Amino acid sequence: MKVINTNLNQHIATSLEKFSQKGGEKVSNYVNAAGKAVIAPLVIMHNPFTKENEENRKWASIKQPVEAVITLAMQLVSLGLLYKGIDSLIKKGKINFKYVENAAKDISKIPEKILKACNYDKEKALEMYKSQYNEIFKDRLGAVVTTITYLPVLALSNKIYPKIAEKIVNKNENKSAQ
């Protein structure tokens, strides 16, 4: 039994480490969507401090997972297109960063941690440094795109969720009436 727990713990730790290394806006979107899809409906349905009736709570709790799915889909598509476009511009040399250009001229501008990780190979270190800058740039633009997509996501979810909620609530009420 202890071996299973150790393997499971190791698997969870490894998975979380890989997930966190992805970093940035994508991870934030996944965590937010998971919270909306799972935690928010539970809190809404089982909130002991609300005076709302059960039907209103059902309707409100159904909106959260619907909105999470729409949000995740829109953001994944928009971020995917954005990142693909940025990568294309970087490959064409249309996006450059002064820090990287300076590091290409003077190896001392590359952080020691990167140099050490690349065994002081200037070309590898410069490539890693450039890659990190590109990822930071994409992540920052991704945050802007995520913010911009927020209003269309709300508008779309406000149109879709009542239809889904009506089907789910009425379906459950029909079952309980039988």
Mean pLDDT (whole number) for 26-52: 84
Residue 12 lies inside a defined structural domain of this protein: no
Residue 30 lies inside a defined structural domain of this protein: yes
Tell me the two tokens of residue 73.
Answer: 């889909």
Residue 147 lies inside a defined structural domain of this protein: yes
The pLDDT assigned to 176 comes to 47
- Can you give the residue range of the structural domain that contains 107? 25-177
Residue 121 lies inside a defined structural domain of this protein: yes
Q: Which of 134, 107, 133, 105 is nearest to 121 (CA)?
A: 107
- Average pLDDT, rounded, for the chain: 82
Residue 90 lies inside a defined structural domain of this protein: yes
12 vs 98, which has greater pLDDT?
A: 98
- For tokens 């598509």, the residue is 77
Lowest-confidence range among 26-35, 37-46, 74-83?
A: 26-35
Distances (CA, A) of 32 to 35, 64, 72, 150: 5, 11, 9, 13
pLDDT digits (tens, 9 = 90+) for 141-167: 888 888 888 888 888 888 888 888 788
Give the separation between CA 75 and CA 28, rounded to whole angstroms: 11
Give the separation between CA 77 and CA 61, rounded to whole angstroms: 25
Residue 33 scores a pLDDT above 70? yes
Residue 164 lies inside a defined structural domain of this protein: yes
Residue 1 lies inside a defined structural domain of this protein: no
Total domain count, the chain: 1
The pLDDT assigned to 136 comes to 87
Q: Which residues contact 65 (CB under 8 A, 6 or more apart)?
A: 36, 37, 38, 41
Residue 20 lies inside a defined structural domain of this protein: no
What dihedral angle (degrees, nearest 10) is formed by the CA atoms of 18, 29, 100, 128?
10
**pTM of the entire predicted model:** 0.64
Distances (CA, A) of 178 to 82, 90, 174: 51, 62, 6
